[in-house]
Chain A
Amino acid sequence: MITLQYIPHYEIKNLDTESKIKKILKHVKDDRIILIDCKLAPLEEGLLIERTMEEVDRKFKGIEIASIIPDKKNMQFLDIFKRDLAKILLGKDDGVTIIGPASIIKEIKKNPNKIELLTKIRR
């Protein structure tokens, strides 16, 4: 069984970077695939990789991660306006991030607007 854990942005937006990463890694090390409805900042992603590498051992092999942000080029003016308004009112960043344990996720194939998640079959 694969568990998909949803983390709304408000649950992590007020956390400092270390706490945010700690929370993410805790879920992932519990063999859950998490879906966060915002994109991590590049510096947070860099630190997430560092902390992940510190945790790698016989059982935990690391993570697979992918984030996706909507392509502005294909959006209508009204959509961009609505999106920016939601950003101001809700303080929510664009995009989603998927993070899971490398022991479960074999590969994440990513194109600009699509994420394909290939899992490993356990026997």
Chain B
Amino acid sequence: MIKGIKKFLDRNIFGLFKRKKQIKLGLYGPPNSGKTSLANRICQDWLGEEMGTVSKIPHETRNIVTKEKVVVKSKGKEIMFNLVDTPGIATKIDYEDFLKFKMSDKEARSRAKEATKGVIESIKWLDNMDCVLVVLDSTVNPYSQVNITIIGNLAARDIPVMIVANKSDLKKSDIKQIESAFPQYPVIGISAEKGHGIEEFYNKLYKLVK
């Protein structure tokens, strides 16, 4: 309750005096949707450096990774972000899934353990975000409970959301399906890896946070 009042005052009253401060922008989504690829794309575009490692093995990002003072320019205006890349949120983690990627039993168990902690950390960090990009793999059915839970939690916290339909360059990509699954949110189709749609992405991001 007190936390809620503080948040309300922060956003609406004190927020007026703190405009132009750095905006904490979180990247959320299920594992392997391309959150770190997008974080890398943003950091490459505006800082000339990468933010994290990308892998085909799920749960590559197992800790919160932040990059401060990322200045994004769109149509002559600039916004400063603190970018927060989060571990993918999942409801199940089976160490045996990692064995398929030729990991040793010990490595797989350790990765699974770290991944569970990462999921918990991601959810806890929701309270710290000013704005969130929900990154979804546009080749995968969007009606998963994880996606619905993430977006529901953001709505319950009154955090502005944009859905990034990633991997738009792939044949199976279906951005329309994501739009119809979450009609109340802005959706932008991009390929973080190839850079498709990235200009439009920055324009929409600017509109979201202004």
Contact of A62 among B93, B124, B156 (CB under 8 A): B93
Known pairs A45-B152, A65-B145, A111-B143; A50 contacts B120 (CB<8 A): yes
Which A residues are in CB contact (< 8 Å) with B65?
none
Please indicate which of the listed interface residues B89, B91, B119, B148 has the most CB atoms of chain A within 10 Å of its own CB.
Answer: B91
- Interface SS of A by simple majority: mixed
- Contact check, A102 vs B91: say whether CB atoms are below 8 A apart: yes
- Contact check, A62 vs B91: say whether CB atoms are below 8 A apart: yes
Query: How far in angstroms is the closest Cβ of chain B from A50?
Result: 5
Contact with B along A50-78 (1 / 0, CB 8 A): 10111010100111111100000000000
* CB of A91 closer than 8 Å to a CB of B: no
Within 8 A of B (CB), among A23-50: 41-43, 45-46, 49-50
- Contact check, B123 vs A49: say whether CB atoms are below 8 A apart: yes
- Interface SS of B by simple majority: helix
- Contact check, B116 vs A54: say whether CB atoms are below 8 A apart: yes
Known: A41-B152, A46-B149, A49-B149. 5 other contacts (CB 8 A): A45-B145, A53-B116, A53-B120, A56-B116, A109-B141
- Contact check, A61 vs B89: say whether CB atoms are below 8 A apart: no
Known pairs A49-B149, A54-B120, A108-B145; A42 contacts B91 (CB<8 A): no
Known pairs A45-B145, A109-B141; A50 contacts B91 (CB<8 A): no
* CB of B136 closer than 8 Å to a CB of A: no
Docked Cα-Cα span, A54 to B115, in Å, equals: 11
Chain B residues bordering chain A, tally (CB within 8 A): 26
Q: Which residue of B lies closest to A97 (CB)?
A: B145
- Contact check, B143 vs A110: say whether CB atoms are below 8 A apart: yes
Which B residues are in CB contact (< 8 Å) with A108?
145
Docked Cα-Cα span, A45 to B123, in Å, equals: 11
Within 8 A of A (CB), among B10-57: none
- Contact check, B112 vs A56: say whether CB atoms are below 8 A apart: yes
Known pairs A42-B156, A53-B120; A112 contacts B145 (CB<8 A): no
- Contact check, A63 vs B92: say whether CB atoms are below 8 A apart: yes
Q: Can you show 21 pairs from A to B with CB atoms below 8 A apart?
A: A42-B148, A42-B149, A45-B145, A45-B152, A45-B153, A46-B123, A46-B149, A49-B123, A49-B146, A52-B92, A53-B120, A56-B93, A56-B112, A58-B95, A61-B93, A61-B94, A62-B93, A65-B91, A65-B145, A66-B145, A112-B143
Which B residues are in CB contact (< 8 Å) with A102?
91-92, 94
Which A residues are in CB contact (< 8 Å) with B94?
61-62, 102
Known pairs A42-B149, A49-B119, A53-B116; A64 contacts B156 (CB<8 A): no
